[in-house]
Amino acid sequence: MPSPLPYTNALVIGAGSWGTALTAVLADRGLQVQFWGRDHELMDEIQSTRRNSRYLPGLVLPSSIQATASLNDLQPANLVVFVVPSKAVRETASTMASLPALQSARVLISCAKGIEMNTGRRLTQILHESFPTTPLAVLTGPNHAEEVSQRMATAAVVACENDDIARDVQCCFTLPWFRTYTSDDVTGVEWAGAMKNPYAIAAGIALGLKLGDNAIAALVTRALAEMVRMGIAMGGRAESFMGLGGVGDLMATCYSEHSRNHRVGRLLGEGMPLQEIMSSTRMVAEGVPNTASLHEAAKAKGVRTPLLDEIYAMLYQAKPAKEAMRALLSRDPRSETE
């Protein structure tokens, strides 16, 4: 049985599919949960019908959850969960920094995945700018919202530099079907979570081009090597990339039908223009903006990233997918450990 709760109430910020699923997880665990999103129409719908028909229609949220789009309605919370898209983290954190509901927080948890364009800052670093005295943690792993909403078996990792806080957060995200592990490598876990998305696009492209399982397996394996190389250069530890936040998340994102990034890649491989793909869904495929910010960070740090370079060329320089894949396969031979 899970341990007694270290926190009694939570605030989930961001009403996409993952925010909706995590709201249900925390309510199932027994916390009082406030659920905030910026769209008044959507939040009114969730409050009245207990469903998020836009992003996760199959889930019925418990009646105890309080959904709102009004910042003035928010009450002080022990645990605050940021689940907005990575590009919106800075603006959202800045907007909410002065709210009493967040000033009382004992921990802020980052659940988005990405690196900020131009600054190369991780999401917890951005949150720290607005909340300099509040402990920060990361929740990440191979966690598709669609499966979590159905209470299917799931594992995740909680990363925090404070071991006691990591265990407290772990306790809040421990259910018979939702298992969490802890880590103190916030840097490595965040870089792993950010980097896997572009490679999921590449895996989808390979599928769309019908390159076969051998090619996709090779691509994913070399992607992991590239992630480790980049992560270590940025201050993370190699073992973090071998865990749930690294290879676990990479596999789920590169192979799952639930993965938005994989879907974007598959459609690209089948010949659909990127702009048409992006305009056809409300869902945010983080891998597209992540590719640009990661490519910039790799160049600034001098890290060799041939896969990421080709993904960037396909997304931002209109390089044909077949030509990019051919370029990868025709690179000079080298040792697997290089």
Residues labelled catalytic = 196
CA distance 310 to 323: 9
Q: Which two tokens stand for residue 3?
A: 């341990």
| Residue 238 assigned as binding residue | no
- Largest Cα separation within the chain, whole Å, is 60
119, 171 Cβ separation under 8 angstroms:
no
Is 55 annotated among the ligand-binding residues?
yes
Q: Confirm whether residue 269 is marked as ligand binding.
A: no
Q: Is 78 assigned a ligand-binding role in the annotation?
A: no
218 alpha carbon, distance to own chain's centre = 24
Q: Is 7 annotated as a binding residue?
A: no
Kind plus residue range of the DSSP H or E element containing 140: strand 136-140
269 backbone dihedrals φ, ψ, rounded to 5°: -65, -30
Enumerate helices (H) and strands (E) in the chain, giving the number of each. Answer: 15, 8
Cβ atoms of 312 and 292 closer than 8 Å:
yes
Report d(CA 185, CA 202) in Å as an integer: 27
> Annotation-wise, does 36 bind a ligand?
no
Residue 146 annotated as part of some ligand binding site = no
Which of 159, 164, 92 is CA-nearest to residue 131? 92
238's tokens? 């190699």
Residue 204 is labelled as binding a ligand: no
In angstroms, rounded to a whole number, what is the distance separating the alpha carbons of residues 257 and 311? 20
Confirm or deny that 112 is annotated as ligand binding.
no
- Using alpha carbons only, give the angle 213, 251, 299 rounded to the nearest 5 degrees: 100
Is 193 one of the annotated binding-site residues?
no
Tell me how far apart the alpha carbons of residues 169 and 160 are, in angstroms, rounded to a whole number.
9
Q: Report the alpha-carbon distance of residue 225 to residue 156 in Å, rounded.
A: 21
Q: Annotated binding residue at 15?
A: yes
Q: What are phi and psi of 170, to 5 degrees?
A: -55, -45
Beta bridge partners of 115: 122
Q: Is 249 among the annotated ligand-binding positions?
A: yes
Would the annotation count 286 as a binding residue?
yes
Q: Is 145 annotated as a binding residue?
A: yes
Amino acid code (one letter) for 67: A
Residue 18, marked binder = yes
Report whether 261 belongs to an annotated binding site.
Answer: yes
Annotated binding site for sn-glycerol 3-phosphate: 113, 141, 196, 249, 259-261
Annotated binding site for NAD(+): 14-19, 145, 260
Annotated binding site for NADPH: 17-18, 38, 55, 113, 145, 260, 284, 286
Annotated binding site for substrate: 113, 260-261
Annotated binding site: 14-19, 38, 55, 113, 141, 145, 196, 249, 259-261, 284, 286
